[in-house]
Chains A and B, each alone.
Chain A
Amino acid sequence: MVIQNIKLALGSMKGGKMRTVLSLLGIIIGVASVVTILTLGNSATGSITDSITSSGYDLIYLSPAFGSKTRETFDESFAERLRKNVDGIGLVMPTVSGNARVRNGSIVTSTSIMGVNSDYAANMDYKESYGSWFGVEDNIFKRQVVVLGSDIAEKLFPGGNAVGNYITIFRDQGKKYLVVAVMEAKDASLGASFNSTVYIPYNTYTQRFQRVSGVGTYIIKVAENHDPKVVNADATKYLDDLVGTDNYMIISSASLAEMVSSVTGTLSIFLAAIGGISLLVGGIGIMNIMLVSVAERTKEIGIRKALGASPRVIRGQFLTEAITLTSFGGVVGIVIGIGLSKIVANIAGWGFAVSVNACLLSVGFSMAIGIFFGLYPAAKAAKMDPIDSLNYE
């Protein structure tokens, strides 16, 4: 019986192809937009959180505020104290940064300059394309060496061959610095825009560029088997007691990634709700077309009743037709939605992740719409008087 009903439904859909498509437009658009929005929401969130966590999901950035009080607290021994008081603190890398004008020959540009330790690159998953990062000794002896990010290297040395040559840093009375490495390009991530930065040894920086000492930002790696969010929370508590909330800023890549996905998640839900409304409007279109179909087929209903079709059978026939119709619309909508999001994801350069949930949700929802909006027309057909409908012209 069900198979017969589906056959009948497909038959009547084929009978009026144009009408079928038009009546399904609302459902198709609704499903396509829900699938597109949720899929793109997934992809966009994925790509943003990827870039936030490109140097690791386990990083916490701690920046002390300026001032003499904080300067006393955040000194060279701070890392040790932090590790003693907060569980799960791994490596602590002090960094300092500022801006400076740099020159190679006639090329002069302004860029960010950062003082870091010799293990910075390895810990940030940052790789050399030429030369190698400065060593421990360079830091201890405060040597005048630099490592260039890919963009700034390209700018200062358009012909390449930066390694082994010197650049001038104006802030250091025009002293010359030996380029020891040029790095591979790396997506900007939280607290670091790698490619346009000039790196120099931490001690060189504090001696030559700072009038008063003090760490700019501690980059903290969370120890293995510890939840970055928990460590972040514990550290926050410790620091609040130590210096007060206003005297530092802390942010972890994990919590930022979470924040971003919650924002895009909310946005997705909102947009999907709009898609849902269009599905609902599509459902009313279905009800309309089903009512027309029932009215047009009054005679057929009369004949079927005369042949012994019970009200339940007639109701089943039209309900199946409505569900078949909307499910078909749902599948078409999903195909369009996936195609559309693939195109947009390609253009935007996001990873493409089909939202399976969105697909299931959409098909389920369109079937539910078929049932809900098909019920009334089907009941109307079932209730028709056999003689009146037989005599209908």
Chain B
Amino acid sequence: MDKIDWEEVARRIDSRDLPIIYMEDVHRYYIVGDIVVKALDGVSVKIYKGDFTAIMGPSGSGKSTLMNLVGCLDTPTSGKILIDGEDTRGLNETELAYIRNRKIGFVFQQFNLLGKITALENVMTPLLYTGGISAHERRERAEQALEKVGLADRMKHLPNELSGGQKQRVAIARALVTRPSIILADEPTGALDTKTGEQIMELFYSLNKEGNTIVVVTHNDEIGNACPNQIRIRDGKREA
């Protein structure tokens, strides 16, 4: 195998010459009993650094499946996926966890905060798994991330002492704190009212302006169409 010049790759990703997310003919099949569910059936995607992309499509079309594959929570049945230039084929659980920690920031519909620890501790958690970061630095970076999402005054609160919008802000701070290459948000406004949802989208826009690459899954055409780029999926395939 040729030796990869990672500096060259990084430079080309920065200059949008290479995509930061590259999927080629990706299939993801589930076998349920004797039925094969083709959740993704030959999807190719290129997303570049600094993009703000909406993934749209009807329920069950395969949007979450796609996000999970990009986020290295799942592995494809076949096809090629490169994250930040790195081929994820054949990586083991530990290596996938490493990529999730360093390169991906997740935001979920149901927030998925750890309920027994404070907002600040929630945001510090990913840095714990990065390793080699002092407790002091973990705290400092988490505080910065919470300030960025406008929650400097809620750091010591437990998740159940926060509103839905505030919880989602904590989740976004947690996604940001590792300075990931890509932020993946699967219906981040799905559990919020319209106004709060708009505020969360505003936050994503401003984060994108600062250079973050963002992928958002949405049901909402209004939200999706407002995004600079769209990927439409139907029955596990891309729509033209």
Q: Give the B-binding residues of A (Cβ under 8 A).
A: 1, 4, 11-12, 15, 299-300, 302-313, 386-387, 390
Within 8 Å of chain A (Cβ to Cβ): is B74? yes
How far is the CB of A99 from the nearest CB of chain B, in Å? 79
Known: A307-B101, A307-B125, A308-B101. A387 touches B94 (CB 8 A): no
Closest to A383 in B: B93
Contact of B129 among A11, A300, A302, A307 (CB under 8 A): A307
How far is the CB of A313 from the nearest CB of chain B, in Å? 6
Q: How far is the CA of A323 from the CA of B102 in the complex (A)?
A: 30
Closest to B117 in A: A11
In the complex, which residues of chain A have a beta carbon less than 8 angstroms from the beta carbon of B106? 306-307
In the complex, which residues of chain A have a beta carbon less than 8 angstroms from the beta carbon of B74? 386-387
Closest to A308 in B: B101
Within 8 Å of chain A (Cβ to Cβ): is B73? yes
Q: How far is the CA of A4 from the CA of B102 in the complex (A)?
A: 20
Q: Is the CB of A306 within 8 A of B93?
A: no
Within 8 Å of chain A (Cβ to Cβ): is B97? yes
Chain B CB within 10 A, most for which of A303, A307, A310: A307
Q: Is the CB of A308 within 8 A of B100?
A: yes
How far is the CB of B177 from the nearest CB of chain A, in Å? 10
Q: Is the CB of A304 within 8 A of B93?
A: no
Tally the A-B contacts, defined by beta carbons under 8 Å: 62
Q: Is the CB of B71 within 8 A of A304?
A: no
Within 8 Å of chain A (Cβ to Cβ): is B45? no
- Could you give 6 example pairs across A and B, Cβ below 8 Å? A12-B116, A305-B97, A307-B174, A308-B178, A311-B93, A312-B94
* Residues of B70-120 whose CB lies within 8 A of A: 71, 73-74, 93-94, 97-98, 100-102, 106, 108, 112-114, 116-117
In the complex, which residues of chain A have a beta carbon less than 8 angstroms from the beta carbon of B131? 1
Within 8 Å of chain A (Cβ to Cβ): is B199? no
Q: Is the CB of A303 within 8 A of B114?
A: yes
Within 8 Å of chain A (Cβ to Cβ): is B15? no
Within 8 Å of chain A (Cβ to Cβ): is B229? no
Q: Is the CB of B129 within 8 A of A313?
A: yes
Query: Is chain A's interface secondary structure helix, strand, loop, or mixed overall?
Result: helix
Q: Is the CB of A310 within 8 A of B97?
A: yes
Within 8 Å of chain A (Cβ to Cβ): is B197? no
Q: Is the CB of A1 within 8 A of B112?
A: no
Q: How far is the CA of A311 from the CA of B74 in the complex (A)?
A: 15
Closest to B115 in A: A300
In the complex, which residues of chain B have a beta carbon less than 8 angstroms from the beta carbon of A386? 73-74
Q: How far is the CA of A4 from the CA of B114 in the complex (A)?
A: 15
Closest to A15 in B: B116
In the complex, which residues of chain A have a beta carbon less than 8 angstroms from the beta carbon of B108? 390
In the complex, which residues of chain A have a beta carbon less than 8 angstroms from the beta carbon of B113? 303
Within 8 Å of chain A (Cβ to Cβ): is B225? no
Within 8 Å of chain A (Cβ to Cβ): is B152? no
Contact of B98 among A11, A12, A308 (CB under 8 A): A308
Within 8 Å of chain A (Cβ to Cβ): is B59? no
Closest to A382 in B: B93
Q: Is the CB of B126 within 8 A of A308?
A: yes
In the complex, which residues of chain A have a beta carbon less than 8 angstroms from the beta carbon of B102? 308
Q: How far is the CA of A300 from the CA of B114 in the complex (A)?
A: 7
Q: Is the CB of A307 within 8 A of B126?
A: yes
Contact of A304 among B94, B116, B125 (CB under 8 A): B125
In the complex, which residues of chain A have a beta carbon less than 8 angstroms from the beta carbon of B101? 307-309
In the complex, which residues of chain B have a beta carbon less than 8 angstroms from the beta carbon of A1? 128, 131
Q: Is the CB of B128 within 8 A of A310?
A: no
How far is the CB of A9 from the nearest CB of chain B, in Å? 12
Which 3 pairs, one residue from A and one from B, show the smallest C-beta to C-beta distance? A308-B101, A310-B97, A308-B129
Known: A4-B128, A311-B93, A313-B129. A306 touches B73 (CB 8 A): yes
Q: How far is the CA of A310 from the CA of B71 in the complex (A)?
A: 15
How far is the CB of A201 from the nearest CB of chain B, in Å? 85
In the complex, which residues of chain A have a beta carbon less than 8 angstroms from the beta carbon of B160? none
Q: How far is the CA of A189 from the CA of B10 in the complex (A)?
A: 90
Taking A307-B126, A311-B93, A387-B68 as known contacts, 13 extra A-B pairs with beta carbons closer than 8 A to each other, sorted by chain A number, are A1-B128, A15-B116, A305-B97, A306-B106, A307-B125, A308-B130, A309-B101, A309-B129, A310-B97, A310-B129, A312-B94, A386-B73, A386-B74
Q: How far is the CA of A214 from the CA of B220 in the complex (A)?
A: 117
In the complex, which residues of chain A have a beta carbon less than 8 angstroms from the beta carbon of B126? 307-308
How far is the CB of A379 from the nearest CB of chain B, in Å? 13
Q: How far is the CA of A387 from the CA of B106 in the complex (A)?
A: 12
Q: How far is the CA of A305 from the CA of B114 in the complex (A)?
A: 12
Q: Is the CB of A310 within 8 A of B94?
A: yes
